[in-house]
Structure 1
Amino acid sequence: MRFLCLHGTGTNAAILRQQFISIHNQATDLGHTFEFIDGFYTSGPGAGIQHYFPDGPYYTWWPEPTVENIREACKKLREFFETNRHTPFEGILGFSRGSLLIASYLLFHNAETPHEPLPFKAAVFLCGGPVLPVLESLGVEVSPVTWDWDRRTKRALRERASVKAILKSGRDRWTTPGENGDNELNIDPFAEIDPRNVFGFDSTKLSSRLRIGIPTLHVYGKVDPRFPAAMQLLHLCDPETRLSFMHEGGHNIPKNPHAAGNIAHLLDSLARKATAAGDNTLLPN
């Protein structure tokens, strides 16, 4: 399967390629290929990125997270697929904000153009989540508890991914509260999740027309501050077609060979699921 790969905010295609290298090497051995593209807008470096990649350039997918800007990013992504329709991508993969763009694209598609073919058959979310304003714009109820988790976990990610946290706490930074109001999150990643209360989000109220039905793979870290968002996105997707993998890290792509191998084989399983689902999702030539 050929995957289009979307990086996190404040990085670039080359950085994602390096972050993804362990999975990439094992997945290419299974016959899969990956193409990495830069975001649509220039930006400053993401939290902690300058420590590892000081030279940039840095890109993002939208300048400010407004519904209008995210719609525009989805439009640009659609135009990219149309430009490359003669060399189609069967799958799409995103890390962090790249995942948010993919999720938003699928939700807008399901709500507004469900009878049009999608330009890909399967999606991979690495440290993903939904964009809550997008959900609200589509009539989905987002509770105050869900909003509170969103604010707290974004603050925690910003503080714990910072250069200061990297230098102070190293690998322990993901479980070490930082500054600026970052408090202990007290998340048990092994606790059973009630679909009616996914960190405040009632996924059972999601209409069938909005639920993401294509095969999906969700990869998330056990100590990622944004773990609640990853679970909310997981529950926006069809349980019959979704796969998931929890690694030992935080808001990062694992490089451990064992974890990378497991993810590569799940990518292979995802490709088989997508192939079995048929070829009617791709844009016509």
Structure 2
Amino acid sequence: MRFLCLHGRGTNSNILEAQLAPLISRLSAQHEFDFVDGELDCRAAPGMSKLYPPPYLCWYERGHPQEIQAAQDYLRSIIDQDGPYDGVIAFSEGAALATSLLLSDEAAGEPRFTLAIFFNSVVPLVPSGSEHLGGSLREIVYGHQDSYLDLLLPEEQKGSATEPEKKAALSQALCFSPKLSNRISIPTVHVIGRRDAFAESSRVVVDLCARDMAQEVFHQGGHELPRDGSVLDECAEMIETAILFAS
């Protein structure tokens, strides 16, 4: 299988390739992995600047619908140019963007992947042009406003924004709701850190997938890829199982 691999915010494709190496070494040798970079510069993810050189990249700046649409279009251009790909492997913001793309393509009847592997996803945001979904959308998942306000608030308001200003900022981005009628119908594997501050967002992504096709793996870490050998073995086993289902 050929996999498109999407990094998280404040890292890059080389960093994700290094982070995934212990897992990839446990998978069958016939698989191929294509690591691609987001288009936008941003500050480094916590701890990254001490371990890896720049650039530090992201897929969207603030998560406004038009930015999500642009990021989806960018991925589609990569798939059209370098694909086809059988599956997608994605971490954090990359996982959220992959989820958003999969849901948008499901709604349009144009699935691009047969398998998806998500690591510690943040909440998947809605692109522009999705107004027809209406009440199926909602604002940022309750309980994670502070994380998204860091993206959505202007610099001069950070740390001093009033509640109305926060509400106005949050209304600029919408996430897919588990109440959405359509689901990601392909096999999925969800790897979630029990101490991840965004674990609830990962569970939202699980709920957006067909329940009978979704497998979950939990590790004891935070917002990071698992490192424990036994967890990596479990991840590899589940991914190979999902590949069989996809085939």
TM-score clears 0.5: yes
Residues 216 and 242 of structure 1 are in contact (CA less than 8 Å); yes or no, is this contact kept in structure 2? Answer: yes
1:32 aligns with 2:31: yes
Residues 249-270 of structure 1: CA deviation (Å, up to 9, x unaligned) = 1110012111111101111011
Change (3 A) 1:77 1:132: closer
- Paired AA for residue 35 in structure 2: F
Higher percent of residues as strand: 2
Give the superposition deviation at 1:15. 0.4
Alignment of 1:231-242 (within 5 A): 231-242=203-214
Alignment of 1:225-236 (within 5 A): 225-236=197-208
Give the superposition deviation at 1:28. 4.1
Residues 9 and 93 of structure 2 are in contact (CA less than 8 Å); yes or no, is this contact kept in structure 1? Answer: yes
Change (3 A) 1:141 1:75: closer
Give the CA RMSD over aligned residues: 2.5
1:151 aligns with 2:136: no
**Structure 1 runs of 4+ with >6 Å offset:** none
Residues 121 and 274 of structure 1 are in contact (CA less than 8 Å); yes or no, is this contact kept in structure 2? Answer: yes
Change (3 A) 1:35 1:224: same
- Paired AA for residue 94 in structure 1: A
Identity, % of aligned pairs? 30
Residues 39 and 59 of structure 2 are in contact (CA less than 8 Å); yes or no, is this contact kept in structure 1? Answer: yes
Give the superposition deviation at 1:77. 0.6
Give the TM-score of the pair, scaled to structure 1: 0.71
Residues 147-177 of structure 1: CA deviation (Å, up to 9, x unaligned) = 4312156689xxxxxxxxxxxxxxxxxxxxx
| Alignment partner, residue 2 of structure 1 | 2
Alignment of 1:52-71 (within 5 A): 52-53=51-52, 55-71=53-69
For residue 125 of structure 1, the aligned residue among 118, 124, 127 is 118
Residues 13 and 37 of structure 1 are in contact (CA less than 8 Å); yes or no, is this contact kept in structure 2? Answer: yes
Output the CA distance in 2 between the equivalents of 1:13 and 1:48: 16
Output the CA distance in 1 between the equivalents of 2:229 and 2:73: 37
Structure with greater contact order relative to length (CA < 8 Å, sep ≥ 6): 1
**Secondary structure at 1:74 match in 2:** helix
Alignment of 1:43-54 (within 5 A): 43-53=42-52
For residue 105 of structure 1, the aligned residue among 101, 107, 112 is 101
Output the CA distance in 1 between the equivalents of 2:184 and 2:85: 18
| Alignment partner, residue 17 of structure 1 | 17
Alignment of 1:1-285 (within 5 A): 1-29=1-29, 31-53=30-52, 55-85=53-83, 88-111=84-107, 113-114=108-109, 116=110, 118-134=111-127, 137=131, 138-139=133-134, 140-142=136-138, 147-152=141-146, 203=178, 205-207=179-181, 210-275=182-247
- Paired AA for residue 63 in structure 2: P
Give the TM-score of the pair, scaled to structure 2: 0.81
Output the CA distance in 1 between the equivalents of 2:49 and 2:102: 31
Give the superposition deviation at 1:45. 1.3
- Paired AA for residue 114 in structure 2: K
Corresponding residue pairs, total: 221
Output the CA distance in 2 between the equivalents of 1:91 and 1:9: 20
Output the CA distance in 2 between the equivalents of 1:133 and 1:202: 10
Change (3 A) 1:268 1:147: closer
